Amino acid sequence: MNILICGVGGQGTILASKILAESAVIDGSDVARTGETIGMSQRGGSVVSHVRTEKTSSPYIPKGQADLIIAFEKCEAARCLPFLKPSGKAVVSMSEIKPVAVSLGVMAYDSKAMEDYIKSAAESIFLDTDTLAAPFMDGKCTNTLLLGAAFGMGFINISENAIKKAMEKLIKPRFLDVNIKAFEAGIKAVSG
């Protein structure tokens, strides 16, 4: 699978990508690769993580080849859509983080147009993560919640057991429980 995780620097996208790579290997994949954005962009810029769970030489997903986009912010979801396959899926947080230039009136943030565009280009599901993730450490578990939603939709072909094992390995013990709960809340949010 080719999965693209995108958001705004500081939102915790890297943990989500690590969990996916780790769980793919637990499930028997030979090589999982990720390509991260680490550096200046982490200060509130656009960040993208590429995750590839099948054998390739490079970690970077070419345009039009992602099976799934997990977006932590609406505008960033729209920005990454050219990476998605025509039949691709998208799990998108409704959260709107307006760049400072938008608040200053230098640029526009057209939320409706972004949403329409995402709906036209992907089999997408939108989640109100601001509300859904609030009970879990003040929204700090948005990443595991979104993973849960993507898993709950059947968009990730990795087992639940492997994902949880990967979380155990990668998350500090004192934060593990709340993250598992957030993951489960993500599954629940999309079921039924």
Binding mask 36-55 for other proteins (x = CB under 8 A): xxxxxxxxxxx---------
Residue 172 engages other proteins in binding (rule: CB under 8 A): no
- For 113, half-sphere exposure in the C-beta direction (CA atoms, 13 angstrom radius) is 4
What residues numbered 123-152 form the site for other proteins, per CB under 8 A? 130, 138-139
Q: Does 63 bind other proteins (CB under 8 A)?
A: yes
**Phi/psi of residue 172, each to 5°?**
-55, 140
- Residue of 27, 94, 117, 178 interacting with other proteins (CB under 8 A): 117
**Residue with token string 């993208």:** 48
The residues with which 125 forms a beta bridge, in sequence order, are 91
- Contact (CB, 8 A) for 36 and 17: yes
Q: Which of 71, 122, 146, 153 binds other proteins (CB under 8 A)?
A: 122
Q: For other proteins, which is the closer residue by CB, 48 or 180?
A: 48
What's the closest the beta carbon of residue 119 comes to other proteins, in angstroms? 11
Instruction: Output b/e per residue, 21-33; b: 16+ Cβ within 10 A.
Output: bbbbbbbebeebb
Q: Does 10 bind other proteins (CB under 8 A)?
A: yes
Rounded Cα–Cα distance for residues 165 and 190 (Å): 22
Closest separation between CB of residue 13 and other proteins, Å? 13
| Closer residue to other proteins in complex, CB, 97/125 | 97
Radius of gyration of the chain (CA): 16
What are the phi and psi torsion angles at 162 (to 5°)? -65, -40
Least Cβ distance, residue 192 to other proteins (angstroms): 28
Q: Does 185 participate in binding other proteins (rule CB under 8 A)?
A: no
Q: C-beta of 148: minimal distance to other proteins in Å?
A: 19
Q: CB of residue 76 vs other proteins: minimum separation in angstroms?
A: 7
Question: Is the Cβ–Cβ distance between 168 and 184 less than 8 Å?
Answer: no
